[in-house]
Amino acid sequence: MSKWPIFVALLALAALVAGAFGALANQIGYSVGASYFHDMKFIEAGLSEALQNRLGASLVGLREGGRLGLLVSLPACVMGLLMIRSRQTYFSSGLSAIGVAVVIALACAMAGLTLGMIAPAYTADRPIPETVTDTDSFLRAAMMQQGAFVGALIAVPVALWAMWRGAQSDPA
């Protein structure tokens, strides 16, 4: 039987999980740095005034996280499709890759937030748009967002490794 339905399901699941992660992470980001959203993200997203709140932050996170999840998972899903013969091993390896990616993104997001909160000397040199109304708030959320993005980049080779490991243990 074909592995294509699993391929599609894994990509969809990765996008959904990453979107949910983005929505939840943006709730934390909004709490520690509403300026980041009001002074930049809501404007970039073209959100109406009525959505420039926590709901809007979640919507931005859902959209951006979903896209990023799809991009991060695509190489690993293609690798698994080509290298793993067993549908069950492919699916379980894909779930492992998604889980590990979320853990890495969370750890890096929290590291970014921590850096933004405890290292003002580092964050003070960051380029900040002139329209920012609260620099400290903006930097906390921005560093958290950048941390999550770095985590997603780190997750790509780790997800590839999870698929490679699945191919090595493939019983089929």
Name the packing angle between helices 4-32 and 54-83 (round to 10°): 150
| Cα–Cα distance, 76 to 94 (Å, whole number) | 8
**61 three-class SS:** helix
Tokens of 52: 């420039």
The per-residue pLDDT for range 23-72, each reduced to its tens digit, is: 999 999 999 999 999 999 999 999 999 999 999 999 999 999 999 999 99
Give the model's pLDDT for residue 124: 67
Give the model's pLDDT for residue 121: 67
Q: Burial code of 76-106, b = ≥16 C-beta within 10 A, e = fewer? A: bbebbbeebebeebbbebbebbbebbbebbb
pLDDT bin (cut points 50, 70, 90) of residue 170 is: confident
In degrees, rounded to 5, the angle at the alpha carbon of residue 86 between the alpha carbons of residues 91 and 170 is 95
| Cα–Cα distance, 58 to 80 (Å, whole number) | 31
Give the model's pLDDT for residue 125: 72
The per-residue pLDDT for range 98-137, each reduced to its tens digit, is: 999 999 999 999 999 999 888 766 666 777 888 889 888 8
- The mean per-residue pLDDT over the stretch 141-166 comes to 95
Question: Do 19 and 105 form a contact (C-beta atoms < 8 A)?
Answer: no
Give the model's pLDDT for residue 145: 95
Give the model's pLDDT for residue 118: 86
Mean pLDDT of the chain: 93
**72 three-class SS:** helix
